[in-house]
Amino acid sequence: MSFPQYATLLVEHRNDHVLHVTLNRPEVLNAINTQMGEDTLDLWTRLTARPGALRCVVLTGSGDRAFCAGGDLKERDGMTNEAWRAQHEIFERMFVTLLDCPIPVIAAVNGHAFGGGCEMVLGCDFVYAARTARFALSETKLGIMPGTGGTQTLARAVGERRAKELIFSARPFSADEAYEWGMVNRVCEPAALLDEAFATADAIAANAPLSIRQAKKSIHHGLQGDLLTGYRFEIEAYNRLVTTEDRIEGVLAFNEKRKADFKGR
């Protein structure tokens, strides 16, 4: 699968199944400006519409200081209300397409993830963080509030009361704290961060892609309602997989004691 050359992103194929995406504005700590919003929206839209052979994405930031420092406040300086809302609509669509992306996305947080950068992390499926990483939803210091999913995703990750504390106080918190609360899957030494993220991505890519996509949908759907409704959705997803070529290949490979060769069909 090919992608355009983005002004604010580096997009590289690690192999046929794993994509490496880097937020690439290191001179401003990878802050999100309008162009980055448009670039990431385009990327997630393409991946959602036609994932092709891709089975996992690793998302990180350029440099070792920041994953993403949040919105670019210099660009926003002097913006009219109308311009601010127009820009934020792009950011809103970017967040929704990230959540809708059928391919698992691993955030490899190499440094600070503040404001919208933290919300981007929270929109990913897994979070691996360098031990030096720090997080904050700092919008209340700016007269706004999290507006790209932060109030929803943080509460789901760490619970209602802790989410309120972190959002209302806007205080930064460490990778170790985030791990303790369940927001981060793994804390890594900085030099090992990408290696560990790619190892997990490769392990995911070895499994049946349709199974993973249906499981992701089922988990997301289940979090929106009651247990029985979620279970019914799961059964429908399961039954769709029964008719796939990959289901036949998986059982055959197990009985032949070999590695399965999944095709996504």
CA proximity to 91, closest of 47, 26, 33 = 33
Tell whether 111 and 160 lie within a shared domain: yes
- Better pLDDT: 261 or 113: 113
Provide the domain limits for residue 249. Answer: 209-255
Provide mean pLDDT across the span 52-74: 93
Number of domains in the chain: 2
**pLDDT attached to residue 235:** 87
**pLDDT attached to residue 54:** 93
pLDDT tens, 120-130? 999 999 999 99
Distance (Å, whole) CA 130 – CA 110:
5
Tell whether 217 and 104 lie within a shared domain: no
pLDDT tens, 203-261? 999 999 999 999 999 999 888 888 888 889 888 988 999 999 888 888 888 898 988 88
Tell whether 120 and 33 lie within a shared domain: yes
Tell whether 232 and 111 lie within a shared domain: no
**pLDDT attached to residue 191:** 96
- Whether residue 29 lies inside any domain: the answer is yes
Provide mean pLDDT across the span 135-157: 94
Structure tokens at 136: 């904050």
- Whether residue 262 lies inside any domain: the answer is no
Residue 186 has pLDDT above 80, yes or no: yes
- Whether residue 45 lies inside any domain: the answer is yes
pLDDT tens, 191-202? 999 999 999 999
Provide mean pLDDT across the span 6-29: 96
Strand order in the sheet with 112-114: 66-68, 112-114, 134-136, 173-174
Would you name the residues annotated as active-site residues?
Answer: 119, 139
Contact 187, 175 (CB under 8 A): yes
Provide mean pLDDT across the span 135-156: 94
Tell whether 193 and 216 lie within a shared domain: no
Provide mean pLDDT across the span 49-69: 93
Contact 107, 128 (CB under 8 A): yes
Residues 6+ apart with CB under 8 A from 234: 218, 222
User: Which of 174, 189, 205 is a domain's end point?
Assistant: 205
* Lowest-pLDDT choice from 21-25, 81-85, 136-140, 186-190: 81-85
- Whether residue 261 lies inside any domain: the answer is no
pTM value?
0.93
